[in-house]
Amino acid sequence: MSPLTENNKSDASSALKSATDDLHRQVEESIDWRANLGDLRAYQQFLTKICYFISPADRIIEEYFGVLESWVASRRTAAWAQSDLGELTAKYIGAAHIESCDDQPPADELYRWVKGPADAAGILYVLEGSTMGSLFLCNLACTNFDSSADAPVKFLSAYGKGTARRWQETKLWLDRFLTTEDEVATAVSAARRMFQIYGGQLSSRA
Ligand code: HEM
C-alpha cells in the first residue's frame, strides 16, 4: 500500500471519474428517463424506487462519515424523495394509492459487499455526483408534468444553484480522504457497483 505522492493529490476524484465514465454513459442512455418521469404516476413510482435502494446507501454513508463530517447531515438523501412522495401522493394521487418505502423490505442486501470507509466513499461519489444530472432530470420532469406548477421536486432539485459548488467540495473531500492506491481502487470498485445498482433498480419494474 503506497501513499499517493503530493503531485497526485487529485487522483482520487479523477480516477473515480475516468473509471466510471462508461457506467455513467450507460445510466444516462439506457434508463428510459422520459418513461420514469413521464407523468405524475410514473414519477411516484420513480420516487418509490429511489427511496427503496438509496435509503440503505444513505445509512452506510451516515455510519462511516456522519460523526466525523458535519456536512454529511445536509446531504441530499432518500428522505428528500420520501418527502416528495408524501406530498405528491397527498396532493395529486390520493391516499388510496400511497406507496411508501416502508411498504418494501429495506434493500440492505444490495450493499452486503460494503466492508469499509473506502467502499462508502465510492457510494458517496456516485450519489453526490448524481446531483449534477438531477438538475437536468428536474427540468425534464417539470416539462412533462401537466400540473407541474407545484409538483414536489425537492430530491431532483438537489442543492439548487449550490449543486455545482457542493460537487466541487465533495470531490476535494474525496481527494483528501482517499489517500492510498488501495483506497482509490476500492472506492472505484464500489462506485462501479453503485452505478450498477442504480441502473438495475431504475430499469426494473416497480
Ligand atoms: C440523464 C441523466 C443524467 C444526466 C444528463 C447527467 C449529466 C451529468 C453532468 C452534466 C455531469 C457533470 C459532468 C462534469 O461536471 O464534468 C454529471 C456528473 C455526474 N453524474 Fe450524471 N447525469 C445523469 C444521470 C446520472 C445518474 C443516474 C447518476 C448516478 C447513478 C449520475 C452520476 C454522476 C456522477 C457520479 C457524476 C460526477 C462525474 C465526475 O466525476 O465529475 N448521473 N452528470
Q: Which CATH number goes with the domain that contains 90?
A: 1.20.910.10
Domains in the chain: how many in total?
1
Is residue 1 assigned to a domain? no
Mutate to test the pocket of ligand 1, among 24, 29, 166 (most ligand atoms within 8 A of CB): 24
Whether residue 5 lies inside any domain: the answer is: no
Helices (H) and strands (E) in the chain, counts: 8, 0
Average of per-residue pLDDT across 4-13? 62
Pocket of ligand 1 (CB under 6 A): 13, 16-17, 24, 27-28, 33, 125-126, 129-130, 132-133, 136-137, 195, 198
Confidence (pTM): 0.91
Q: For the chain, what percent of residues have pLDDT higher than 70?
A: 86
User: Could you tell me if residue 3 is inside a domain?
Assistant: no
What lies within 8 Å, CB to CB, of 133 at 6+ separation is 28
What's the Cα-to-Cα distance from 44 to each of 51, 58, 101, rounded to whole Å? 11, 20, 11
Nearest-atom number in ligand 1 for the CA of 14 is: 40
Q: Is the pLDDT of residue 32 over 50?
A: yes
Rounded to an integer, what distance in angstroms lies between the CA atom of residue 47 and that of residue 106? Answer: 15
Q: Does the pLDDT value for residue 206 go beyond 80?
A: no
Indicate if the pLDDT at residue 203 is higher than 50: yes
pLDDT at 5 over 80: no
Ligand 1, atom 34, residue with closest C-alpha: 129
pLDDT tier at 4, thresholds 50, 70, 90? very low
Q: What three-state secondary structure class fits 99?
A: coil
Q: How does residue 3 score in pLDDT terms, banded at 50, 70 and 90?
A: very low
Q: Which of 81, 61, 104, 99 is nearest to 194 (CA)?
A: 61
**Region class of 45: left (phi > 0), else alpha (psi between -120 and 50), else beta:** alpha
Q: Which of 175, 194, 155 is nearest to 12 (CA)?
A: 175
Mutate to test the pocket of ligand 1, among 132, 138, 166, 168 (most ligand atoms within 8 A of CB): 132
**What number is the average pLDDT over the span 145-156?**
82
Please write the tens of the pLDDT for every residue from 62-114: 999 999 999 999 999 999 999 999 999 988 876 545 555 555 666 999 999 99
| Residue 56 near residue 108 (C-beta atoms within 8 A) | yes
Q: Does residue 108 belong to any structural domain of this protein? A: yes
Q: Is residue 4 part of a domain?
A: no
Q: Percent of the chain beyond pLDDT 90? A: 76
58 part of a folded domain: yes
pLDDT in tens, 174-189: 999 999 999 999 999 9
Read off the C-alpha cell for 79. Answer: 428522505
Structural Rg of the chain based on CA atoms: 17
Does some domain include residue 165? yes
Structural domain contains residue 6 = no
Backbone dihedral region for residue 180 (phi beyond 0: left; psi -120 to 50: alpha; all else: beta): beta
Identify the domain containing residue 136 by its residue range: 11-203
